[in-house]
Structure 1
């Protein structure tokens, strides 16, 4: 592709960065996705020209024409990953190459140009280096990185855009759960599905999340933390949660998780859990799991634990399952031993506290 992989990023430091004192105050309790660093990355794309003008510049509003294609036809994709501080003062990222690959797959599904993986990775490194001071030093703190791209051509015809803008912004975040990891209650929605075969379920595009907001609201109305979707064809098999993949721990120590058939997001945390479980000698089956199997398995003890996983919350135990027909708990409704063991292994690798036999941790500084 013209534009190439090896373009140098132009660095334009923010002339008015947040003061050290104000940044320290903000980092004391950053929450999640509420505050942002001083800089952002931008790279432009034009048909026939390729990717060009890669920059690191002051974070600022984006000028946008009312006829920008993304506002009308939703050509947009994004990723989410984290950077961490290490005990020796360094900074690492967790599996950014997997995010780069998935970003390309999402682009293909949404008829967008594929950003070279080397440029994706370098954009993250550039932003981390210039905003290193924004990474919380707390045990559970990290820098959440949000790469995204959208159709920026000004036109109202229904076709793929000929111009795009790629950006990366960053947000310092604390522990996802205040007060520690706690089992969540989930709602089995009878009215909504997340994606159908042939749809955009496997792409990380904003439209998938917009379409899920009503279902999440329904879950909250029923006193639940998260929604669980069933498949769109038979309405009987578990697909995933609103923003996380799901696993079941069986009484023989094995794990089961819905297969990647194109309707659920191929989660990077999901893939990491599978590899960690298999390293522990556990069998992992990627197969359809019906809601009825979950209900009856919880009653009989066949299903001992259930958990959700994703970048933001890592691994979250599922304690109670609620549907229009009934409600049940998984085991005693608490945090299972296998679930929390896998979570600890994953977090320790991410934060450099344990050996990384998979080559997942990428050193930045």
Structure 2
């Protein structure tokens, strides 16, 4: 499959814009933004860019949000050749709208594309696709506490072909949904179920890619976690090393000032996680990305060497872990102050309330 080098100089895209003639009324938007929820109401428009082996990236457009027509033989429906990203846009006090580290999301989408044999979308195209959608649907960006506009870029194989090979026609879309505060009434510690029967990914698999199949495989163990009275599930690899939660990374704080997070070829590289770790390093903490076994976790908590455990991701930002539950045990986890302190610092940067020392923010509107 011929792909575009995502790091090469690219020709700017010229988007054709078709406005939604049935766009939501100001009253409807005000009603939604009063209690946005998450991922249930979508803005008036979406971005659509095509790719083909012969034409490369072409026909960029902004069009009314609506159903996507697919041939029943479209490759994605049969072989799951699909990837996606999750990123937010934040309303600042001066009414401008910014996003956070979109270059990192673009790079992760490119890495996912390589693993799934999809074309790599250049970083410039990725960021411009966000800007195009936010600029036309800016009125959907909320301004309440911890509210944002959640942006979902995704790419899939649309070629009508049942042979098992990489598709030669691909679609890239961006849709958006207003998002309310993840926690109502303040951040709450969560109970985590230790899945020892199911695995999220394996060595050499797609664990490092953000692809739908990884999330589909987590749904059954997540349901098991709910049945056990837990909020989330944590996975191990074949060596009983800690991987990640169904959709979040895990971080351990040691009493000697080290911060440890699992690292392997089957763990998704969390942008929120890496940002929090950078802020921790700025404060003088030592950060380690390495293998950490479930035994080290449990023994570290029991001995007092581990003084805090938290999960992190785009949706919740930071979630303290209050209990680890497995077959035959229910172990309280130490609650510290670092997780919430880092969460406050990171969200202050995202919403423009604190200096952006690392140049992470990019203005979209």
Deviations 1:285-344 (A, max 9, x none): 11111111111211121111000000000010000000113111112xx4x201111111
Equivalent residues of 1:186, 1:226 under 8 A apart: yes
Gaps of 5+ in 1: none
- Structure-2 separation of matches of 1:347 and 1:360: 12
Equivalent residues of 2:249, 2:312 under 8 A apart: yes
- Structure-1 separation of matches of 2:133 and 2:258: 40
Partner residue in 2 for 1:283: 286
Report the TM-score, using the length of structure 1 for normalisation: 0.96
How is 1:197-276 mapped onto 2 (pairs within 5 angstroms)? Answer: 197-231=203-237, 233-234=238-239, 236-259=240-263, 261-276=264-279
Deviations 1:232-285 (A, max 9, x none): x22x211110100000011122211112x2110001011101111100000011
How is 1:307-318 mapped onto 2 (pairs within 5 angstroms)? Answer: 307-318=310-321
How is 1:21-40 mapped onto 2 (pairs within 5 angstroms)? Answer: 21-40=27-46
Partner residue in 1 for 2:355: 355
Equivalent residues of 1:5, 1:118 under 8 A apart: no
Partner residue in 1 for 2:75: 69
Partner residue in 1 for 2:299: 296
Partner residue in 1 for 2:148: 142
Deviations 1:163-222 (A, max 9, x none): 001000000011011221100000001101111111001000001000111111111111
Equivalent residues of 2:130, 2:364 under 8 A apart: no
From 152, 155, 179, the counterpart of 2:158: 152
From 15, 19, 26, the counterpart of 1:20: 26
1:6 deviates by 1.2
Q: Cα distance 1:338–1:200, how it changes in 2: closer, same or farther (>3 A)?
A: same
Partner residue in 1 for 2:330: 327
- Structure-1 separation of matches of 2:344 and 2:34: 24
- Structure-1 separation of matches of 2:286 and 2:204: 30
- Structure-2 separation of matches of 1:273 and 1:16: 41
RMSD over aligned Cα, in angstroms?
1.2
Task: Classify the secondary structure of the residue corresponding to 1:185.
Answer: strand
Question: How many corresponding residue pairs?
Answer: 359
Greater CA drift, 242-251 or 295-304 = 295-304
Task: Classify the secondary structure of the residue corresponding to 1:345.
Answer: helix
- Structure-2 separation of matches of 1:341 and 1:4: 40
Partner residue in 2 for 1:96: 102
1:5 deviates by 3.4
Equivalent residues of 1:256, 1:286 under 8 A apart: yes
- Structure-2 separation of matches of 1:270 and 1:108: 22
Equivalent residues of 2:195, 2:234 under 8 A apart: yes
- Structure-1 separation of matches of 2:20 and 2:302: 58
- Structure-1 separation of matches of 2:172 and 2:10: 15
Task: Classify the secondary structure of the residue corresponding to 2:54.
Answer: coil
Deviations 1:54-84 (A, max 9, x none): 0001001001111111000000000000000
Task: Classify the secondary structure of the residue corresponding to 2:106.
Answer: helix
Deviations 1:30-59 (A, max 9, x none): 101111000000001111110110000100
- Structure-2 separation of matches of 1:293 and 1:254: 14
- Structure-2 separation of matches of 1:137 and 1:349: 15
Task: Classify the secondary structure of the residue corresponding to 1:57.
Answer: strand
1:4 deviates by 4.8
Partner residue in 1 for 2:339: 339
Q: Which runs of 4 or more aligned residues in structure 1 lie more than 6 Å from their structure 2 counterparts after TM superposition?
A: none
Report the TM-score, using the length of structure 2 for normalisation: 0.96
